[in-house]
């Protein structure tokens, strides 16, 4: 299908960075879709000019909240349409879309798959490219996983309550997403606390320095 897609749009002339790209079946780039809470087929291009196709199929089962689950089939293709790899996930209702992002700043993008959204936070499945194959590195929950330049590691913020927020910092290496630390900020009690993970040694700051910076940030916000 993808080979026909590439030929249909003109392999040598098509600029896949253009936001108006659609393949032969009308599937748009993931980044240009509006979030609706319903599964939406989409495509993404990686920096190495390979293509990811995200295709959803409704399952005949419901989750514990009564939402219909969907099967997400992910296919990774070379620019000429050659199939490189397939993956699959079961997803529930989510208010996020699949993403590709270099979350550890190593020059290669990861696949971030939203599989469920609660009241605020979304559960994300993380796939890392290891020796030209995407492998499941782990799962995180929050608003969105990204590279945090200040600490040089992937990080995600999540909401615990009306006054409590968490910042989880991770180390991604060889297909494994390992927690460095999770910082809890309680705005109601004006306190900061930290839980150290197995990859705490990868953090450029000690636990004491992280808490001190958190407390200073809250004090500065009050002034």
pLDDT tens, per residue, the chain with 223 residues: 444 344 333 333 344 444 444 454 567 999 999 999 888 999 999 999 999 999 999 876 766 667 778 999 999 999 888 999 999 999 998 999 999 999 999 999 999 999 999 889 999 999 999 988 999 999 999 999 999 999 999 999 999 999 999 999 999 999 999 999 999 999 999 999 999 999 999 999 999 999 999 999 887 666 5
**If you ran DSSP here, which 8-state letter would residue 201 be given?**
G
Give phi and psi for 18, each to the nearest 5: -70, 135
Please provide residue 53's backbone torsions phi and psi, each rounded to the nearest 5 degrees. -115, 130
What are the residue boundaries of the structural domains of the chain, listed by start?
1-93, 95-223
**Phi, then psi, of 218 in degrees rounded to 5:** -70, -40
Residues 66 and 40: beta-carbon distance below 8 Å? no
| Alpha-carbon separation of residue 191 from 169, 207, 219 (angstroms) | 19, 14, 10
> Residue 118 forms beta bridges with which residues?
none
CB-count exposure of residue 182 (10 Å: 0-12, 13-18, 19+):
middle
């Amino acid at each position: 299908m993808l080979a026909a897609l590439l030929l249909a749009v003109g392999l040598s002339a098509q600029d896949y960075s253009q936001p108006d790209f659609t393949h032969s079946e009308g599937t748009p780039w993931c980044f240009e879709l509006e979030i609706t809470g319903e599964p939406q087929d989409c495509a993404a291009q990686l920096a190495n000019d390979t293509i990811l196709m995200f295709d959803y199929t409704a399952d005949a089962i419901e989750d514990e909240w009564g939402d219909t689950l969907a099967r997400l089939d992910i296919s990774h293709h070379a620019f000429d349409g050659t199939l490189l790899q397939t993956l699959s996930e079961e997803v529930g209702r989510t208010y996020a879309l699949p993403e590709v992002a270099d979350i550890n700043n190593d020059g290669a993008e990861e696949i971030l798959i939203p599989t469920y959204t609660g009241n605020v936070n979304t559960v994300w499945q993380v796939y890392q490219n290891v020796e030209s194959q995407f492998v499941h590195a782990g799962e995180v929950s929050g608003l969105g996983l990204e590279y945090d330049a200040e600490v040089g590691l992937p990080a995600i913020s999540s909401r615990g309550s009306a006054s409590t927020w968490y910042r989880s910092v991770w180390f991604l290496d060889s297909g494994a997403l390992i927690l460095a630390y999770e910082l809890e900020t309680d705005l109601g009690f004006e306190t900061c606390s930290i839980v150290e993970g197995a990859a705490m040694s990868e953090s450029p700051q000690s636990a004491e320095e992280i808490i001190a910076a958190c407390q200073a940030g809250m004090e500065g916000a009050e002034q």
